[in-house]
Amino acid sequence: AKCTNPRRRPEIRELTPKQRKDLFDAMKQLRISEDQKMNWDSLVKIHIASENIAHGVPLFLPWHRYFLRLFEKMLQAINPTVVLPYWNWSMDSQAPERSIVFTEDYFGKSGGFDDCVDTGQFAWTYSNVPEAHCIRRRFNKAPLLTSFYSPEALEVMLATSPTYYEFYIRIGGPPHASVHESVGGEVGDLLNMWSPNDPLFWLHHCFLDMLWWNWQERNGEAGMNYGGPGN
């Protein structure tokens, strides 16, 4: 069945300054929410608990699709106009550290003192999961980053994956992991199961979900199939 009146998720660079401010304001409000059923920390706990059921298995993509929608609905409860964008990091693949997402108007760069993210719109953000700490990043080649998968490489994966399982193995492997490992570095939140602490987690996984949607659209009815070992 087709959804009625679906809302398109934009690439982060497509947002107007007001749309970006609305998104960031909603994120900040969710971060400090005291509602035990609707706060950022509760989502991080859910992700930690999913380690063995939604990671390293084909459930990875559909589970994270639902998880993204849960986060988006929480943001929309704060501001109904907000739509979760994706970060097409393949556009920045050859020099990721130069991406606009790492600038002051967006998410800041690699961490400073104690690897705490001290730049960007979420500077000095703290989480209580798994314990009280600042959100950390340590670029793996600070101040540089290892290159990401290019648009051409992703296109090959989309075009040569006839089954869901083959697509999941390709996208859910190095393309997914390289962003976590490079941006998070040795000590960053993104490297760990509490990776949703870093706001970039949501945009990264939103891009993976967009790639899956692209694969589904290309493959018609076969794109709705799902399967593979470990389910």
Angle between helices 60-78 and 17-31 (to 10 degrees): 100
Annotated domain spans of the chain: 32-224
The burial class, CB within 10 Å (0-12 / 13-18 / 19+), for 5 is exposed
Angle at 155 between CA 151 and CA 158, to 5 degrees: 140
Per-residue pLDDT tens digits for 189-220: 999 999 999 999 999 999 999 999 999 999 99
pLDDT at 230: 63
Please state, in angstroms and as integers, the Cα–Cα distance from residue 224 to each residue in 146, 168, 210, following that order: 34, 13, 14
Question: Which CATH number describes the domain made up of 32-224?
Answer: 1.10.1280.10
Does pLDDT of 135 surpass 80? yes
How large is the average pLDDT for residues 3-11? 87
What does pTM read for this prediction?
A: 0.96
